[in-house]
């Protein structure tokens, strides 16, 4: 809307000559002028047209200007219509005018000075246009807000539906894995037991002429052990995902636990060198089996992902008065930087095309166990390569041991 769009101006006077003179004065404003010679005719015009300004003579027969103004104001549709009275200056008229001060009302004395009339009408016309423009903008704004709200609501609903579908799919997968793991456990255990039994019998009877048979049985034993471990991880995941899991805790010397584990890993591989730094006593209230699982997993990974051997450094020390720090650091292949954020996620494998990778559950389970203890697990990548895992576990108050290097 702009100045080009004229507004309707209703001129009311019982004298046609006066109407003509108003027309002459206001003509150059370019607005749309409508004439009425009586109050009644004025009301008819008001019903037919959208009137922005009423210019009216105060003294008219039948309905005078003030009565007409009162009728106009009563109607909600004309609340915003500006009224300009034309009158000889009489005190009584001025008093009556007081009653209209709240609306858009003005007053022109006679004799009418054309410039003043034009100026007043022009101000009201502009005001009307601006008000309509503002109303239009408001409506547009409201429409857009409504549209946007509707869009947001439907996006939220879509998102919720997608989340529910994803959650349902995850539950189906988890249930399946849990059932499958349970079902697989028994035959694999049986398989391994038979392989071990046959190996023992062959040893006992000193059967050495079939080395391929011995090798085959050893492979079956090793692979079924690996399978048992993977199945164990799947069972751990479904167990740990149930929130009600509260592990049994006992006072444990974490240094001894780590030292014992390192000894068993030393026996397992000669390719890697294990360097252990442990405080003599590092007492914490923990589920020892769980923490053993965490450290074993870190050591397992350190071996798996350091294909060329090398040193694996382990620490079990007091970090500060609240936490014990258990560290496993290798000098292996490390983890590509774009995958580092995800390695504690379920089923995440940073080297998925590597045959050494498992199910991507070890670190996830480790984090769950550590967090159940109120601890933290984090990974770092030292500038000289390899990977450094650090586990912080709350210590018992009596742990105040001097550092010792075995």
User: Under the rule (CB under 6 A), what is the footprint of ligand ADP?
Assistant: 297, 301-302, 305, 330, 332-335, 343, 348-351, 357-364, 387
CB-nearer residue toward ligand ADP: 149 or 222:
222
Rounded Cα–Cα distance for residues 239 and 242 (Å)? 6
Of the pair 130, 273, the CB lying nearest ligand ADP is at 273
In angstroms, what is the minimal distance from the CB of 322 to ligand ADP?
A: 26
Rank residues 185 and 351 by Cβ distance to ligand ADP and give the closer one. Answer: 351
C-alpha distances in Å from residue 88, one per residue of 63, 64, 268: 17, 14, 117
Q: CA neighbours within 13 Å on the CB side: how many for 80?
A: 12
Which helix (H) or strand (E) is 159 found in, with range? helix 114-204
State in angstroms the smallest separation of the CB of 358 from ligand ADP.
3
Least Cα distance to 328 among 271, 276, 288 occurs for 276
Closest CB to ligand ADP among residues 65, 362: 362
Least separation in angstroms between residue 195's CB and ligand ADP is: 23
Nearest approach in angstroms of CB 359 to ligand ADP is: 5
Look-up: residue for tokens 């002459």?
24
Nearest residue (CB) to ligand ADP, 125 versus 391: 391
d(CA 379, CA 358): 19
Shorter beta-carbon distance to ligand ADP: residue 148 or 226: 226
Q: Which of 55, 335 has the CB closer to ligand ADP?
A: 335
Say how many C-beta atoms besides its own lie within 10 A of residue 231's C-beta: 21
3-state secondary structure 250-302: EEEEHHHHHHHHHHHHHHHCCCEEEEEEECCCCEEEECHHHHHHHHHHHHHHH
Supply the minimum distance, in Å, between the C-beta of residue 217 and ligand ADP: 25
**Residue 175 CB coordination number (10 Å):** 11
In the complex, the smallest distance separating the C-beta of residue 378 from ligand ADP, rounded to whole angstroms, is 13
| Euclidean distance between CA atoms 370 and 391, whole angstroms | 8
């Amino acid at each position: 809307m702009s100045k080009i769009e004229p507004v309707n101006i209703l001129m009311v006077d019982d004298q046609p000559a006066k109407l003509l003179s108003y027309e002459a004065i206001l003509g150059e404003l370019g607005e749309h002028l409508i004439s009425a010679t009586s109050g009644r005719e004025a009301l008819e015009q008001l019903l037919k047209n959208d009137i922005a300004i009423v210019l009216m003579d105060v003294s008219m027969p039948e309905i005078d200007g003030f009565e007409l103004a009162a009728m106009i104001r009563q109607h909600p549709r004309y609340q915003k219509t500006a009224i300009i009275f034309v009158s000889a200056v009489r005190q009584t008229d001025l008093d009556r005018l007081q009653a209209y001060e709240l609306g858009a009302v003005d007053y022109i004395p006679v004799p009418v000075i054309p410039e003043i009339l034009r100026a007043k009408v022009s101000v009201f016309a502009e005001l009307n246009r601006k008000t309509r423009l503002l109303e239009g903008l408001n409506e547009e704004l409201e429409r857009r807000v409504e549209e946007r709200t509707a869009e947001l609501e439907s996006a939220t609903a879509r998102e919720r539906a997608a989340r529910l579908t994803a959650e349902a799919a995850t539950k189906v997968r988890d249930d399946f894995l849990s059932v499958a793991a349970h079902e697989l456990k028994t035959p694999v255990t049986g398989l391994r037991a038979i392989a071990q039994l046959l190996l023992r019998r062959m040893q006992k009877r000193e059967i050495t002429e079939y080395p391929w048979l011995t090798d085959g049985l050893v492979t079956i034993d090793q692979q079924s052990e690996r399978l048992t471990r993977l199945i164990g991880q799947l069972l751990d995941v479904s167990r740990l995902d149930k929130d009600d899991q509260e592990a049994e805790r006992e006072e444990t010397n974490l240094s001894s636990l780590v030292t014992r584990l390192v000894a068993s890993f030393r026996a397992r591989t000669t390719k890697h060198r294990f360097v252990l730094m442990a405080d003599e006593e590092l007492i914490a209230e923990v589920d020892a089996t769980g923490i053993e699982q965490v450290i074993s997993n870190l050591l397992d990974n350190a071996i798996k992902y350091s294909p060329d051997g090398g040193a694996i450094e382990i620490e079990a020390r007091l970090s500060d008065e609240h936490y014990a720090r258990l560290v496993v650091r290798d000098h292996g292949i490390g983890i590509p930087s774009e995958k580092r954020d995800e390695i504690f996620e379920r089923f995440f494998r940073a080297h998925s095309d590597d045959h050494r990778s498992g199910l991507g559950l070890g670190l996830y389970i480790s984090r769950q166990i550590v967090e159940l203890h109120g601890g933290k697990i984090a990974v770092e990548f030292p500038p000289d390569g390899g990977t450094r895992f650090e586990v912080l576990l709350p210590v018992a108050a009596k742990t105040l041991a001097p550092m010792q290097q075995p």
